Structure 1
Amino acid sequence: MSIEVKVPVLGESISEATIGEWLKKPGDAVAADEAIASLETDKVAVEVPAPSAGVMGQQMYAAGDTVQVGALLAMIEAAGSAAAASPPATPAPAPAAAPAPAPAAAKADPAPAPSVSSGEPVSLSPAVRRLVLEHGLDPTGIRGTGKDGRLTKEDVLAAAESAKAAPAPAAAPAPVAASAPTASGAAGRETERVRMTRIRQTIAKRLKSAQDTAAMLTTFNDVDMTAVIEARNKYKDLFEKKHGIRLGFMGFFAKAACLALKDVPSVNAQIEGDEIVYHNYADISVAVSAPNGLVVPVIRNAETLSFAGIEKTIADFGKRAKDGTLKMDEMMGGTFTISNGGVFGSLMSTPIINPSQSAVLGLHRIDQRPVVMPNGEIKARPMMYLALSYDHRLIDGREAVTFLVRIKEAIEDPTRLLIDL
């Protein structure tokens, strides 16, 4: 009996996907709910599970093909019909003459064991693929310890450590006549051509579309982080003990943004045709890194959440973004975006608006800088640059500056977050 595997529903407005890789080959045993393929959509990589146990049968598409939602993807054969899923054997030649006996020596030689570096394609999860590329390793030369011999992150990290620890082979002394390399044989000029993933293609199109559509402008301010750092240092242990999550800076900025969005509602609005749509809620998109690029999951109704609720949501998004398990609907919508480039060491940037939103707040690294205090004294203070990129078609310069000032006031005096001021 054959069971059809179809492309699952991938989320609202998502009608197609690209086959990133097949995790099972025809003839492989498959357990119920085991992933057999990875699909790349515009936002995330989605694994397709087997509907029942059996043997991997015919695959209707190859890796890299585009498939529609609901299309027949593959067949799962019942375990008893494994022979049907196996590639057909080469037919034996007609018995024209008796074959010559094989040499005795050839009989004695056992069949060689398959090599881990045989050059066969290796199925890699997105996280493993990223590690392989980062360390410049050949995945076919790494022995996998995962299910069905698949590579795990630990396998790749162990191989990377082994490569570092292995002594470099001693170079044979080159003849004097050949010591000068020719231009065509110069080392270090290799190139590699890698196909863009569907997610990366979509990121490129959306960001370019934002530049082409919005009248984008960026305004800057800086903020003294002293009060937030002191509050965090004072309460972080009690906070973690009570809520089971660390108190970070993003909770403060998310709450400050909610207050500022109330005061300047145009920053939380968007243009649809010839109308402006205002939102009386704050669905804050938070940019986080994933193996295949930047993803922007949404904190729904952030204005109603506590500090702990915001920090838990962000931590969960970050973990699942690295594991590739974010759901499609978790990245849909959003009325305003916060992007924290400071975690990577960014001093200043002009972030690009996330369509179809109208503004994005960019956070940057904290540096000790000299600041003139109100009494004229100069002190070293932990300062951060803030950047607000906005659509000037909807948001005036006065409103953009006012929004950043509200953020600055709330961060420099966190009590405002408690009394809604």
Structure 2
Amino acid sequence: MISVKLPTLNTNDASYVLVEWLAEHGARIEKGQPLVVVETSKAQEEIDSAADGILHTLVAGGADCRPGQTVAHVFDSADERHAYLSAPAAGPPEPATDAGPTLTKAARALVEQHGLTDDVLRGLGRTVIRAADVEALLPGAAQAGAATGRHLSAQQRAVGSVVTESMRTIPAAAAYAKVDVGRAQDLARHLRQRTGSVVSLLGLLVKAVADQLPAHPDLFARLLDDGTVQPAPRAHVAVAVDAGKGLYTPVVHNPAALNVAQIADLITGFRDKAVRGTFRTDELTGANILISAHTAEGVVFATPIVFPGQTCALSLGGIDEQLVLDQRGRPEVRRFTYLGVVYDHRVVNGRDAMAFLGDLKRALEAPAALAAGAEGDEDAPEQAGERPA
């Protein structure tokens, strides 16, 4: 007999929701077969079977569960399963069939608070009902929210937990640089036309950040509990995405090996998944540096948090057009942004952070090298390189 235990899918969560079983109770399954869908505060994740055998589930779909909990057994044979069931105190009984939907703990509390009936819940047409589903049923929920308060979503509670841990444990310092991004924006527009990908200033920055790993390894390192600074073999850059349904930090893994068009396609996909809430766990883990874009009109700069386990976070402000004098003293309009770096002062000193910020500024102000490998980059406009005098 092999026990199916839930792995740790999100270090910030103490509990998950077992959304549904993908194999029937008592069915014969194969190693590698998708077995169960588990929802964390960030994403839904499929867990595969680790062995061939007969599935015996212990936790029903829709139930709360925790990391490390045994949710099923896989038996080698029907005889082994029969012996298990026949033994005294064999464990939890087989899940009963329920004609109604399954409610999460938070959803059930709301149902009891507002006296919703089973018929109303069945009208949702869902097998698993969460707190957000119940909130949508409440009359005048949007108007009443300000007066009666609202429950924080599991995702927002997870965000709050990360922010609290960061503020509690990381002595952070910050600095900002004013960057002329006119050439970078021109290059992004050119690459959009040549590749069909939605290349943006953010995508160019992801590429520029990844390229800095060899020169600035401490900005990508991890500080261990024993005081050891563990270097990162590759840069994995998280990008903060909020499509109005919660904050996500999906990861562009090893962007140094990608061109900017490929990075742009990944970022576009991230935005779509943020709207639908369909991220996989592997898309949200593994980052060793973060970029948070605050490009709404009128936003000059912002200060992100350094995620626990990382030593650096970057912010990208909105574009500000300013009138300046060129090298001949003639007025011209240029496009600027403020690029911020927040860093763990235990690992990184101000001099190193300033050098990192300066290299990023130079990469964006003379961005031709960032286009390497993208389709059509051999036709990149001259303005992506040096500005004529």
- For normalisation by structure 2, the TM-score amounts to 0.65
Q: Give the Cα separation in 2 of the matches to 1:229 and 1:190.
A: 45
For 2:75, the equivalent position in structure 1 comes to none
Unaligned runs of 5+ in 1: 1-5, 24-34, 50-57, 74-83, 89-115, 142-159, 161-186
Which of 136, 148, 151 matches 1:194? 151
Q: Equivalents in 1 of 2:12, 2:291: separation in Å?
A: 25
The 2-side partners of 1:234 and 1:60 are apart by 54
- Report what 2:173 is aligned to: 217
Q: In structure 2, what is the equivalent of residue 253 of structure 1?
A: 205
Distance 1:382 1:20 in 2: 49
1:350 aligns with one of 303, 306, 326: 303
| Alignment check: 8 A CA contact 1:21 1:64 kept | yes
Q: Percent identity?
A: 24
SS at match of 1:247: coil
For residue 389 of structure 1, report the CA deviation from its aligned partner.
0.7
Which amino acid in 2 is paired with 1:230?
A: D
The residue type paired with residue 321 of structure 1 is: A
Q: Is the counterpart of residue 206 in structure 1 residue 153 in structure 2?
A: no
**C-alpha deviation, 1:216, in angstroms:** 0.3
CA distance in 2, matches of 1:64, 1:195: 19
The residue number in structure 1 matching 2:52 is none
- Paired residues of 2:259 and 2:371 also in contact (CA < 8 A): no
Please name the residue that 1:264 is paired with: 216
Mapping of 1:184-333 within 5 angstroms? Answer: 190-197=147-154, 199-240=155-196, 245-272=197-224, 273-289=226-242, 293-333=246-286
Query: Could you tell me which amino acid in structure 2 is paired with residue 267 of structure 1?
Result: L
**AA aligned opposite 1:412:** E
Q: Report the aligned-residue RMSD.
A: 4.5
Between the two proteins, the alignment pairs up a number of residues equal to: 313
1:44 paired residue number: 43
Q: Which has the larger displacement, 276-285 or 375-384?
A: 375-384
Which amino acid letter does the alignment assign opposite residue 268 of structure 1?
A: F
2 CA distance for matches of 1:280 and 1:400? 19
Q: Deviations over 1:249-299 (max 9, x none)?
A: 222111211233332222122211211112232111111226652222222
Consecutive unaligned residues of structure 2, counting only runs of 5 or more, are: 22-33, 49-56, 73-95, 101-116, 374-384
CA contact (8 A) 2:9 2:40 kept: no
Show the 5 A alignment for 1:58-137: 65-69=64-68, 71-72=70-71, 85=97, 119-120=120-121, 122=124
After superposition, the C-alpha distances for 1:111-136 in whole angstroms (9 at most, x for unaligned) are: xxxxx99643636799x998x89xx9
Amino acid at match of 1:213: T
Q: Distance in 2 between matches of 1:21 and 1:413?
A: 49
For the residues of structure 2 that align with 1:188 and 1:205, how far apart are their CA atoms?
23
CA contact (8 A) 1:17 1:40 kept: no
1:7–1:321 distance in 2 versus 1, CA, 3 Å: farther
Residue 360 of structure 1, CA deviation: 0.7
Look at both structures and tell me which one has the larger radius of gyration over its CA atoms.
1
2:341 alignment partner AA: L
Q: How big is the shift at 1:189?
A: 6.5
